[in-house]
Amino acid sequence: MEATSMKQQEFTLASVTDLTSSSSSPSSSSPVSATFSRVNEVTELRFHESEFGFDLSSTQLFKLGPLQFMCVSDRSDSIKEDSFSRGVVIKFREEKESKEFCDSFEEWTTNAAGKGSSSLANGTVPDGKSKFDNKIEAASAKMYFHYYGQLLHQQNMLQDYVRTGTYHAAVMENRSDFAGRVVVDVGAGSGILSMFAALAGAKHVYAVEASEMADYARKLIAGNPLLAERITVIKGKIEDIELPEKADVLISEPMGTLLVNERMLETYVIARDRFLSPNGKMFPTVGRIHMAPFSDEFLFVEMANKALFWQQQNYYGVDLTPLYASAHQGYFSQPVVDAFDPRLLVAPPMFHVIDFTKMKEEQFYEIDVPLKFTASVCGRVHGLACWFDVLFDGSTVQRWFTTAPGAPTTHWYQIRCVLSQPIHVMAGQELTGRLHLVAHSAQSYTINLTLSAKMWGPGANQGGILQTSSCKLDLKEPYYRMSQPQVYPVAQETSAQPQDIQIQSDDLEEIELLQQNANAQL
């Protein structure tokens, strides 16, 4: 049926509340009528008595309960120039009326758009490709959302008590940033951070989750009724959905391996640009990637030995050696994810800062980090070790969360890029290089690493590069090695006297407190 031939439809509502006006309030004693119609080639939904009108080509309907819905549009005939969008909460007297209204809404919006749309439990999302879909391949996105739509993976993250305890502490210690404020939870997952925000006194929390976990989040939040009345779960991508109001606070857990894996940080800053009020808060606020060269003979031998299978010249009568070089290169293209002993570091670490409040989405597409270290011990450098930390810059407490070696282990562990050709260094020798990260459509990065050792000793300032080694790795395909730091025998220690390297992180003094938080959660 074409929109031009559709007859005007009218519904009687119990009340309408304008979310963009602080003075509006429900009016149960004076019912409001809602009318679907087409006027001057514009298909609209108009709320009489209250004078709210919505262009249905840009309107979404969100179900808050059996009798309560939220209607949101980014265009309205009465919208002010400095407003973000128009939103109203509508209530019905009977569930039958609400169902008939929803059916009509879907029919009228479909015709207004001139094409079909995908109906979701929380509203409608256009069929056209979004910004997310244009830069991320469909197969990767499908696997990603399937993974995070499963409770067992959410449980794995919830049981990371260092992670969950730090988020809880950062929110509760900064209640003044949340009390009476509008909060958007970006990639809400199970909804745990949304509930932390509600516990801290948030006026309202919009929990945005694109995977099937949104349905579990609704169920979990509904089971906590004192919080549920202030939390709305929206199933959809940040790039696609609309909200009825600006946010005072964004909260999210967008960090992946090496901080940037999974490319959710881009979604985090898109949410900032779309929904955060000027001078709004972001939890977390800043991230840092820490890097240091390491020496680990056991790991290097382990990686090299994996390819020995392909050195067999008579494998059931077949010579496998033509593939040995490719297999060797393949194993060294895998970043190693594990927790290691910080005494394996051969130089003090450096870090690269990513400010989530200022970073543009496009700046995540390619990240270039110049490297410069001074070796503290003699030995062979087998690669570059990396970890990250993030700052929750609250008004009351500034809290750091770290994944550093030597700190309590998290589900991120640490990551190491192993060189197929190690570099020999002496104490005091300078190491330089480059860590170059290039984003790809499988929601990860290609890592290009180069390390060089300059000449050391008398006359070194007259010489150039002595040794150089490089490698190319795919952050999407890591080697998950172990869950806890390995105890190394004395035999691996270099001839020089080993010394502890100071880990550069602002919250290592808080480790004891984090452990107490973790025990409290248990």
List, by residue number, the catalytic residues: 253, 262
For residue 150, give the 3-state DSSP assignment. coil
For residue 442, give the 3-state DSSP assignment. coil
Separation between Cα atoms, residue 473 and residue 354, nearest integer Å: 22
Cβ neighbours for 467, distance < 8 A, ≥ 6 positions apart: 423, 424, 452, 453
Token pair of 418, please? 């192993």
Question: Can the peptide bond before residue 342 be classed as cis, meaning omega within 30 degrees of 0?
Answer: no
| Residue 323: how many other CB atoms lie within 10 Å | 14
Cβ pair 183, 248 in contact under 8 A: yes
Tokens 């197969």 — which residue?
139
Separation between Cα atoms, residue 522 and residue 516, nearest integer Å: 10
| Residue 88: how many other CB atoms lie within 10 Å | 27
Q: How far is CA 369 from CA 290, 333, 373, 384, 436, in A?
A: 11, 19, 13, 13, 6
User: What order of strands is seen across the sheet that includes strand 204-209?
Assistant: 231-235, 204-209, 182-186, 247-252, 276-283
